[in-house]
Amino acid sequence: MAVVDDPLERLLTPAALEDPSAVYADLRDNSPVYWHQGIDSWIVSRFDDCALVMKDDARFACDERRFEGTASQSVGIPVELLSLQSLDPPESGPLRSLLARGLRAQITREFERNLAARVERVVSRRAGREFDFVAEFTVPIVLGSIEEILGVEPMEPSWFSGIADAVTAAMDSPLRPELHEPGVAARGVLSEMVEGWFSQPPSGGLLGYLAKNRDSEKVDRRILVNSVRAILHAGYESMNSAVNLAMAALLDAPGGLAALPDGRSDPALQELVRFTSPVRIEGRVPLADTVLGGQRITAGSFVTMIIGAANRDPARFERPDELDLARTGNPHLGLGRGPHACIGTQLALTQMRVVFATLARLRPTAALVGRPDYRCTATIRGIDRMVVAFD
């Protein structure tokens, strides 16, 4: 790495990719709020500060247009870049309501049965051998789920993974500018695909729901297309990371999969999200001068929250660097907070519950073979390859 003294760069060193706890602690203890010249942003890493920024949409915006002094206000943000992720209340209200209802409608017993059946098929084909859990288990399982959620025909896994990975890598473009253009191109491919689905929507899934109900909320079609593209990407990449990181954490813990509580309780799943923090960086723009961690933050500057560090803050969590599957009172930030809380939270937790309940039932003695190869990304934490043995 070019600048190993930079805490953000240190997150990308081999040791921190596997275990970021030391870098998280250094950020919280020594630089809880500091200006990062390289990415032109304030970096915030303590729980209370990150939670405040997430919750207070009156002072901190996702939508840069709300601050008159930003360059985006003078030139206008193209509608092609607007989605549920970038809009704030009240403008986001009708869109969020429509998408939330549509996603909730996909959480059915049939969906859970289909997911469990996919897991059982994949597991049965790999009994008694070592295999790459990421490529041979998670990719087909998660891609199959997002296809069913949206109501679309199957996509070619290696092709789609390459496109989605390029979009994910581009989230690190403030640190790695060379990743920006490939990410824009990949996002364009996804947009074109989603546009085609809207032109000829399926009868079922989220797309079928939106085709029947879009007019009820008078939502701009282009912003809706962008939002479904974001759901497609997040539903695949964030879920992919969540499953792989949770599996690695469980297989590293005493008891492995067999240690999961009966029924794969919600507290255990929430703890896996807290401990692994798949989505570990988010950003906002302060709308007025404010103070965070004793530092004066000027309006219009950027604030980057290190969610992974906040989720390991000892000021908020006892034994924060331990995976405690019985942990209760777990107000982690791994699924967002406030008006931009993850709209797919219940779908994500449902998928994790079914996946790990099925794995624990069928292969409770699954074991890691060697160490996982962690993805060299800062914004979305993930695993590229992880060899697992099923008995």
Cα 61 from Cα 92, distance rounded (Å) = 12
Amino acid at site 322: E
Beta bridge partners of residue 41, listed in sequence order: 36
Give the pairing type, strands 281-286 and 60-61: antiparallel
pLDDT tier, 305 (very low <50, low <70, confident <90, very high otherwise) = very high
Residue 52 binned pLDDT confidence (cut-offs 50, 70, 90): very high
Give the C-alpha separation, 30 to 16, whole Å.
17
Q: Which residues contact 89 (CB under 8 A, 6 or more apart)?
A: 57, 339
pLDDT tier at 187, thresholds 50, 70, 90: very high
Supply angle C-alpha 185, 82, 282, rounded to 5. 85
The C-alpha atoms of residue 101 and residue 55 are separated, in whole angstroms, by 22
CA gap 257, 250 in Å, rounded: 6
pLDDT at residue 69 tops 70: no
Instruction: Identify whether 359 is part of a domain.
Output: yes
16/24 Cα distance (integer angstroms): 9
Instruction: Determine contact, residues 131/387, Cβ cutoff 8 Å.
Output: yes
Q: At what angle do helices 221-252 and 180-199 cross, to 10 degrees?
A: 120
Query: Using 50, 70 and 90 to split pLDDT, how confident is the model at 90?
Result: very high
Instruction: Classify residue 134: in a domain, yes or no.
Output: no
pLDDT digits (tens, 9 = 90+) for 139-178: 999 999 999 999 999 999 999 999 999 999 999 999 999 9
Q: CA–CA separation, 131 vs 222, rounded Å?
A: 42
* Distance separating alpha carbons of residues 310 and 280, to the nearest angstrom: 9
The pair of structure tokens assigned to 208 is 């079928």
pLDDT over 60 (residue 75): no
Task: Specify the pLDDT at position 2.
Answer: 35
pLDDT value of position 217: 74
Judge whether 316 and 24 are in contact, CB under 8 Å.
Answer: no
| Residue 278 included in any domain | yes
For residue 252, is it within any domain? yes
Question: What helix, strand, coil percent values describe the chain, rounded to 5?
Answer: 55, 10, 35
Residue 144 lies in a domain: no
**38 membership: H or E segment, kind and range:** none
- Residue 354: inside a domain, yes or no? yes
Residue 303 belongs to domain with CATH number: 1.10.630.10
Among residues of the chain, what percentage have pLDDT more than 90? 86
- Segment 309-324 mean pLDDT: 97
Does residue 281 lie within any of the structural domains?
yes
Domain span at residue 289 reads 7-127+237-389
Structure tokens given for 105: 């409608």
Q: How many domains does the chain have?
A: 1
Tell me the per-residue pLDDT of 104-113, one tens digit each, with 9 for 90 and over.
999 999 999 9
3-state secondary structure of 89: coil
Provide CB contacts within 8 A for 28, sequence distance 6+: 45, 46, 309, 312, 313
| Per-residue pLDDT at 94 exceeds 90 | yes
Alpha helices by DSSP H, listed for the chain, are 7-10, 14-18, 21-30, 47-55, 71-75, 93-104, 109-124, 133, 139-150, 157-170, 180-199, 205-213, 221-252, 266-276, 307-310, 345-362
Residue that wins the pLDDT comparison between 197 and 70:
197
State residue 4's pLDDT score. 41
- For residues 201-217, give the mean pLDDT: 91
Copy the structure tokens of residue 217.
């909320």
Lowest mean pLDDT, pick from 202-211, 225-234, 262-271: 262-271
Answer yes or no: is 159 within a domain: no
Q: What is the percent of the chain where pLDDT is above 70?
A: 95
Band of residue 216 on the pLDDT scale cut at 50, 70, 90: confident
Over residues 62-80, mean pLDDT: 64
